[in-house]
């Protein structure tokens, strides 16, 4: 907890790059996606993946996928301590091998500020790499009074008609993320988007939606 608090003090929840302020993201050329996928039935063997796509064409420029052995135990709320070291190593390898392909933003399969202590995987990775990061989760993490109840499901159903978003505002009154069922997703299953580092929530949502050919944004899907 103390390490999360120490690193969390470095999270920047606003846009820091020129391209983020442009309506069409002019100047954005490389978008990265990261994920750690486990072998079924084995929570110690995983594939750590980093993919970099061109933007806006979303064509693969770089791939780094390798099997890793995960030794840290899983503790709810502390997933980043299991996974982030391998993702940081992947970013460092890219920096050494193909520095010109360094992504200008990372989409992370997981949460950012939408976390019990406001410091999920996307925040953790962002602070350690100093890259803009966005959390993109497939399921709602029930924190700060947020629950997947009938009201939540009704809000999601309304999104399918409107192709819009709605904020995830907890009992604290703070918007921890945004639910998106955008036009590109064409799915009853929404995405839960949250700020990781060096990006504001509105920009994060716009960028994720612009990267969706299917439900999952292309950098993470690849």
Q: CA 177 to CA 92: how far, in whole Å?
A: 28
Mean pLDDT of the 25-50 span: 95
DSSP secondary structure of 138-162: SS----TT----HHHHHHHHHHHHH
Q: Looking at the domain that runs over 1-220, which CATH code has it been given?
A: 3.30.2170.10
Q: CA 23 to CA 118: how far, in whole Å?
A: 28
**Can you give the pLDDT at residue 161?**
57
User: Which pLDDT band holds residue 185 (cuts at 50, 70, 90)?
Assistant: very low
pLDDT tens digits, residue range 119-170?
Answer: 999 999 999 999 999 999 998 888 877 887 887 777 777 776 545 788 888 8
Q: Where are the domains of the chain?
A: 1-220
The residue with greater pLDDT, 122 or 213, is 122
pLDDT tens digits, residue range 62-117?
Answer: 999 999 999 998 888 888 999 999 999 999 999 999 999 999 999 999 999 999 88
* 32 closest CA partner among 87, 84, 82: 87
pLDDT tens digits, residue range 193-206?
Answer: 999 999 999 999 99
**Can you give the pLDDT at residue 188?**
66
Q: CA 152 to CA 169: how far, in whole Å?
A: 11
**Can you give the pLDDT at residue 101?**
98
Structure tokens at 91: 């970013």
Query: 209 in helix, strand or coil?
Result: helix
Please say whether the beta carbons of 67 and 47 come within 8 A: yes
User: Which pLDDT band holds residue 181 (cuts at 50, 70, 90)?
Assistant: confident
């Amino acid at each position: 907890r103390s390490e999360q608090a120490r690193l969390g003090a470095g999270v920047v929840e606003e846009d820091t790059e020129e391209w983020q302020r442009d309506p069409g993201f002019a100047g954005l050329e490389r978008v990265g996606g990261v994920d750690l996928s486990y072998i079924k039935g084995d929570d110690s063997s995983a594939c750590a993946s980093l993919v970099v796509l061109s933007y806006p064409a979303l064509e693969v420029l770089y791939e780094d996928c390798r099997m890793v052995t995960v030794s840290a135990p899983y503790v709810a709320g502390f997933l980043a301590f299991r996974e982030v070291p391998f993702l940081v190593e992947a970013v460092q390898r890219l920096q050494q091998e193909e520095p010109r392909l360094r992504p200008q933003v990372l989409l992370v399969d997981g949460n950012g500020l939408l976390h019990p202590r406001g410091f999920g995987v996307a925040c953790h990775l962002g602070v350690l790499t100093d890259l803009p990061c966005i959390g993109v989760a497939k399921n709602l993490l029930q924190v700060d009074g947020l629950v997947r109840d009938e009201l939540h499901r009704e809000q999601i159903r309304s999104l399918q008609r409107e192709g819009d978003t709605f904020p995830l505002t907890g009992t604290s009154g703070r918007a921890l993320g945004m639910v998106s069922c955008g036009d590109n997703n064409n799915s009853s299953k929404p995405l839960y988007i949250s700020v990781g580092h060096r990006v504001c929530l509105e920009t994060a949502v716009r960028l994720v939606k612009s990267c969706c050919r299917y439900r999952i944004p292309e950098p993470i899907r690849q």
